[in-house]
Chain A
Amino acid sequence: MSYPTDRKYTKEHEWITADGTIGITHYAQDSLGDIVFVELPKIGTEISAGKPFGTVESVKAVSDLNAPVSGTVTAVNEDLATSPEKVNKDAHGSWMVKIKVKDPAESNALLGAADYEKFVSEEAGH
């Protein structure tokens, strides 16, 4: 799996694009298995870097979604309420929320595609 280079990644397996679109990675969806439930915040919610802002559930597990950076939610992918399995099919194309980023400098701490790929290959191989 090659990870798109148009975005940055967290070690908790979320991605964020330069315009503040957030989702979870292919590695995350694969580890979770069949995703059956995505719970997202309302538009206008303030989310802060590293803190949970939503939940994604597979048949067997519940996981928090953590914010890659701080910001205010401007859009929510309502489609995932009825078709959460789309995240399994295309994790990098299935965004969850869009945010207005508070401080663009916060994303300097995130991983580039190559570093994230290296990180997950180590995590899978430990």
Chain B
Amino acid sequence: MSVVEATPTVVPKNVRKTALNAVHRQMGAKMVDFNGWDMPVEYPASIGCGIVSEHMAVRTGVGIFDVSHMGDIRLAGREALAAVQHISMNDASRLAIGQAQYSALLYPQGTFVDDVIVHRLGEDEYLLVINAGTREKDFNWVRDNTRRFNCAVENLSDDFTQIAIQGPKGVDVLQKLTDRDLSAVKFYWVTRGTILLVDKSMRRYLGDTLIARTGYTAEDGFEIYVPSDEATSTWVWNRILEVGKEFGAVPCGLGARNTLRLEGKLPLYGHEISDTINVWEAGLDRFCKMEKPEFIGREALEKAKAEGLKKTLVGLEMIDRGIARDEYKVLDEAGREIGYVTSGSPAPFLKKNIALAYVPPEQAAIGTTVKVEIRGQGVKAQVVPTPFYKRPKKA
């Protein structure tokens, strides 16, 4: 066998660690280099984990993720809203205080700097949560493009340990640790609350903690932002797993994070979105508000819309036996190359082999039969509706 990776016992040089690195290693997680970060890809089978178990825990119960590698940019000041409106494609003026929205930062060509979640924390205060691999690029880009606005731009990426508590029972787990009534926090809203930490004889409170009902799993869940010192981070992580026990909570790595987001068709930077893919191609139209008079990328997008699409993102389901993987070629029925897979994997909950792929619009209709080239063979697949998975609506 050729692709067997072992977890190095020492973190390689020049690779960044989250405050929970030692905890992950102690738990026996398999660690990988993810965009320059030493991150857990999955936890061991001996504690009931592994990508499939972790994925299923989030769909049916609750899973806990360290997502501290994500970055955070704070914009605050009299013209913070104007700055956010200028650099992002969604309409931040619609956000009430405590509300969040999915959005993206665009280049003038209408392609992606990154996708972001914009949280409105106060009257003139916004927090952009950005991807790990694009942290520096994003911060420089935001700073450079907001200079003319009366607003301070701060990189808070290293200040927070970000922990995601995802799954239908996530609310039950987190409710055990906070005084804030979480049933009052709707999906894509953010609040501040106290996190209560009880450790045997000691009691400790983490006041004023940012609690957002957001995530990257296509499931209900929360992301909390706690101080990034190792002691506090470890304490919170362990405490969540401890109170989560009765709900079957398991730690989850980036492996499950990827399969979960793929089932929900949530884009991943460098795959479905990048600096060479525009908003229309990625199918993110509903998060792009062209009625906004101005934002970076708007002009190019107007032109691109008039010209029509050259490629479009579709969902594929394998019909014949085989797993489509990132960058595999997509062929038409006659075997001609027509596109490529951006993300492909077995889908643990759906128990199908699925993929996202760019193909010409003429071959994008639901039901179209295509082939994915797997080790030199064209394996049959079909264009299917997306998202592949939609969480059940609560009764």
Interfacial residues, chain A to chain B (CB-CB below 8 A): 12-14, 24, 27-28, 30-34, 36-37, 52, 55-66, 81, 88, 123-126
Contacts and interface: CB of A to CB of B under 8 A. Distances in A.
B66 interface: no
Contact of B345 (A31, A59, A125): A59
Contacts of A52: 2
B30 A33 contact: yes
B375 interface: yes
Interface of B: 1-9, 30, 41-42, 45, 50-52, 255, 258-259, 321-323, 325, 345-346, 348, 375
21 contacts: A31-B30, A33-B41, A33-B255, A34-B51, A36-B346, A37-B323, A37-B346, A56-B1, A59-B51, A59-B52, A59-B255, A59-B348, A60-B42, A62-B3, A62-B323, A64-B1, A88-B45, A124-B7, A126-B6, A126-B8, A126-B9
Nearest to A89: B45
Contacts of B52: 34, 59
A82 to B, nearest CB: 10
B193 to A, nearest CB: 35
A10 B3 CA distance: 14
A49 to B, nearest CB: 14
Contacts of B348: 34, 59
A13 B1 CA distance: 6
A65 B51 contact: no
B4 A13 contact: yes
Contacts of A31: 4-6, 30
Nearest to A34: B52
A28 B5 CA distance: 9
A94 B163 CA distance: 38
Contact of A61 (B3, B7, B321, B322): B3
A123 B4 CA distance: 10
Given A59-B346, A60-B41, A124 B1 contact: no
A23 B323 CA distance: 21
Contacts of A88: 45
A66 B4 CA distance: 13
A31 B9 CA distance: 14
B2 A66 contact: yes
A9 to B, nearest CB: 11
A59 B1 contact: no
A126 B42 CA distance: 20
Considering the complex of A and B, which 6 residue pairs feature the smallest CB-CB distances, nearest first?
A31-B4, A59-B51, A34-B52, A63-B3, A63-B1, A36-B346
A27 to B, nearest CB: 8
Contact of B2 (A27, A33, A60, A64): A64
A33 B1 contact: no
A61 to B, nearest CB: 5
A61 B5 CA distance: 10
Contact of B4 (A32, A37, A55, A59): A32
A123 B8 CA distance: 9
A126 B2 CA distance: 17
Contacts of A24: 1
A32 to B, nearest CB: 7
Contacts of A61: 3, 5
A69 to B, nearest CB: 15
Nearest to A64: B2
Contacts of A59: 51-52, 255, 259, 345-346, 348
Contacts of B258: 60
A89 to B, nearest CB: 10
Contacts of B9: 124-126
A64 B1 CA distance: 5
A72 to B, nearest CB: 21
